[in-house]
Structure 1
């Protein structure tokens, strides 16, 4: 199923009873995951202020968790899936951001001042860091699990940035056969495109509460804002579940998406 994307590159869904039921089932499981010593050792970063939680929620291929099916108005756009990875459990706590282990001073400044803005699937590797488009996703679905104030490290996006990043990736990868795309260094063109986004696109805070959801275009630049000194949340922090299904082989060969 193809998503009909607005010019902004995202869709924010209002409160829905089915989405809320899923969020509360996932919240209970997520709280246990976040307290598991092995999970803490693996995923708690930024001096204890960010639980990265990749594939940490034990949801099944349909997105169901703890006997609760993944339902909500977003299904009208994305349809039912049976190939979803376990959801990411992203949790921020008071004080975010603090430096991540091994992060340079410049990297931390970017995290603090630019919300660690990134496009999913563009991975930094090596020393010095070089970027490669290793993963292609169909979309990104975020569902908040806990109640917080709006300034507790909300999701932020740059409206329309997916168009700029699409064009940049197409320019970088078109000269090469698809089989070589994973190994093409896109660092310079990606950084340049990101700079253009910061100069021309509106930064938008997408605060949402349990029962609501947000669907992002896979090429949309997005990040996490710092935790404000006046923000408040429960001891479980700002907790969001994210699904980002890997594109099929045919879709992965395409840069342009509607």
Structure 2
């Protein structure tokens, strides 16, 4: 399940197979978002869309096969893709978000590491979803400043080293190991040492992120535009069998 992202921790690819898959997925995704009945977060500006795209376990959408060769990933069983949708005004503060969390979303793009979930009333960070890699496929037209993906280049190296150190003395189940302080300290180092890069995309392109890469979403810029219902990206994050696999350096 290696992503081949190199020292930057991410790569962008394009191809006719990716374009064909996006074209087949787009009308299905648009209908799924419209018919979900699920609330939009961030004051009505972000549709989370977990498991919202009804792709097959092989990734196929209708007659369009999943473009494994073009994205350069080893075929694995896929979950229904997340459909992440942002629209004009993102982010606004929703009722579900504290003042400090909202400021972090505004000023730091809600920068995070996938797979770490807040557990318990104190929301301690634990690795509950050890993803192999993250793959995003834009599905519709949008300007580059319509709340694009943001990455901190090289942050996977900082985070990987810090997380492996945090687990070195782990006793008990790895998925219950509290790494909150180690994660927050490493992310602070990332902000101080790694370049922030906006990564807009369009249909026919795909972006692959290393599983340890810090990333987020930039605010919707004034004058930005996206085809209704907003900028739509399908995300896949297949799981690895063990936290130990997630901690490995390669990927």
Query: TM-score interval w.r.t. the shorter chain?
Result: over 0.9
| Matching of residues 1-258 of structure 1 within 5 Å | 1-14=1-14, 16-36=15-35, 39-41=36-38, 43-71=39-67, 73-75=69-71, 77-81=72-76, 83-177=77-171, 180-249=173-242, 252-253=244-245, 255-258=247-250
Deviation of 1:252 after TM superposition, in Å, equals 4.1
Secondary structure at the residue paired with 1:63?
A: coil
The two structures, once aligned, show a CA RMSD in angstroms of: 1.6
Aligned residues: 250
Tell me the distance in 2 between the aligned counterparts of 1:257 and 1:243.
20
The answer as to whether partners of 1:40 and 1:51 remain within 8 angstroms in 2 is: no
**Alignment gaps of 5+ in structure 1:** none
Question: Following the alignment from structure 1 to structure 2, what is the Cα–Cα distance between the partners of residues 27 and 253?
Answer: 33
Query: What is the alpha-carbon distance in structure 2 between the residues aligned to residue 66 and residue 186 of structure 1?
Result: 42
Look up the SS of the partner of 2:102 in the other structure: helix
Secondary structure of residue in 2 paired with 1:64 = coil
List runs of 5+ in structure 2 lacking aligned partners. Answer: none
Instruction: Tell me if the contact between 1:146 and 1:209 (Cα under 8 Å) persists in the aligned partners.
Output: yes
1:35 is displaced (CA, Å) by 0.7
CA offsets 1:19-43 (integer angstroms, 9 cap, x no match): 111111111001101111xx232x5
TM-score normalised by the chain length of structure 1? 0.92
Report the Cα distance in structure 1 between the residues aligned to 2:126 and 2:132, rounded to whole angstroms. Answer: 18
Q: CA deviation at 1:142?
A: 0.5
Once the two structures are overlaid, the 10-residue window that deviates more, 182-191 or 192-201, is: 182-191
Q: Taking structure 2 as the reference length, what is the TM-score of the superposition?
A: 0.94
Q: How far did 1:184 drift?
A: 1.2
Alignment partners' CA distance in 1, 2:182 and 2:59: 35
Deviations 1:183-235 (A, max 9, x none): 11111110110000000000001111100110000110000100011101122
Classify 1:191/1:245 alpha carbon distance in 2 versus 1 (closer, same or farther; 3 Å).
Answer: same
The 1-side partners of 2:204 and 2:119 are apart by 37
